Amino acid sequence: MADTLHIEPGLTPKRRGRASTTLILFGVLAVMVAVFSSLSKDFYSFQNISTMLTNVSFSGIVAGTLTLVMITGGLDISIGGNIALTSCLVAYLFNLTPPVPGWALVPIALALGAAIGAFNGFFITRLDLNPIITTLGTMAVARGLGYVLTKARSILIMEDVTGFIGRTVVPGIQIPIPLILFAVIFTMLFFLLSRSKFGRKVYVIGANPAAARVSGIKVKRVKFILYLMSGIAASLSGLILTGQTAVGMPQHANGMELDVITAILLGGTALAGGKGSILGTLAGVLILGVLYNGFTMIGFRYVHIRVFQGVLLILIVALYELRDRKKY
């Protein structure tokens, strides 16, 4: 058209982007660190921060991949069960006579995670089942198999490879291996989601799956890959936890879905899909970690913090909901 571009009524530039939400979250994080540091002398020590970050790594890795799943509008709550079964299987295999060698345990564990992820992905994409129900089922199956495998006992596993993954601190820089894994995985996921073609497809699928399909995006394939990734990430977390605790047991990671989902929602990912970011999830994971650690430091007990966390989850969802619903 020949006439000049003019702004129609109803067109106000909207740039309430992910960046600003994430920025606010990191601000909140900084304030929390400052408050806890002033309340407790031990909080702001290298030892404590390092311990806290190591604890965070284990759930953070899972939260990273689950963020991608949730941006497509999906969900994977089998992660806790997956972690428990991984630890049980690794400990079981190591305690056989003769024991399965340490170098073989890692690929076996990751293959187990991949198998659980593929199982979820198959039922959710090919048969179009509800992801919550499917992964709820998988969670029960995985944890149940863990009990079967260990006869409901804890199995001690003093083994070098898992010990290396879970407990080693890199000499010189004093950074634990889980934290390095966490950093590497988050960097990779950050580039995957916000810089790659695959990441763009993830957003499009979450925003409108029907339009994604019409646009030639292979929706089922992308979703399948994400569930696969989620499964593998969970088994990696399982290895870390096994190494940290030196124990394989079916009660591992009980209820960790709550931690992970709280962190992701806190980071600004929408349950309905289409919105979310890796940096947001990073902020969510760290805030939750500082919250647990800080409150413990100033004398609260785990159960109390748990209550607080539940309330926090509902508050976050309500807040984001109100913001999105803002009308004239």
The contact set with another protein (CB under 8 A) reads 1, 5-15, 195-201, 203-204, 207-208, 210-218, 274-275, 328
Smallest distance from the beta carbon of 73 to another protein, in angstroms?
12
**Residues 268/278, Cβ–Cβ less than 8 Å:** no
Smallest distance from the beta carbon of 210 to another protein, in angstroms?
5
- Whole-angstrom distance, CA of residue 282 vs CA of residue 275: 15
Residue closer to another protein, measured from CB, 23 or 315:
23
Residue closer to another protein, measured from CB, 41 or 327:
327
Q: How far apart are the first and last CA of the chain?
A: 32
Smallest distance from the beta carbon of 287 to another protein, in angstroms?
25
For residue 95, the 8-state DSSP code is T
The three-point CA angle 192-198-200 to 5° equals 90
**Residues 61/182, Cβ–Cβ less than 8 Å:** yes
Residue closer to another protein, measured from CB, 14 or 151:
14
Give the count of beta carbons closer than 10 Å to the beta carbon of residue 217: 17
Smallest distance from the beta carbon of 211 to another protein, in angstroms?
5
As given in the structure block, the two tokens for residue 326 are 């803002």
As given in the structure block, the two tokens for residue 105 are 């345990």
Smallest distance from the beta carbon of 190 to another protein, in angstroms?
13
Smallest distance from the beta carbon of 62 to another protein, in angstroms?
24
**Residues 203/155, Cβ–Cβ less than 8 Å:** no
Residue closer to another protein, measured from CB, 207 or 312:
207
Sign of the C-alpha dihedral, residues 273, 274, 278, 281?
negative
Residue closer to another protein, measured from CB, 17 or 27:
17
- Whole-angstrom distance, CA of residue 24 vs CA of residue 232: 31
Residue closer to another protein, measured from CB, 149 or 207:
207
For residue 122, the 8-state DSSP code is I
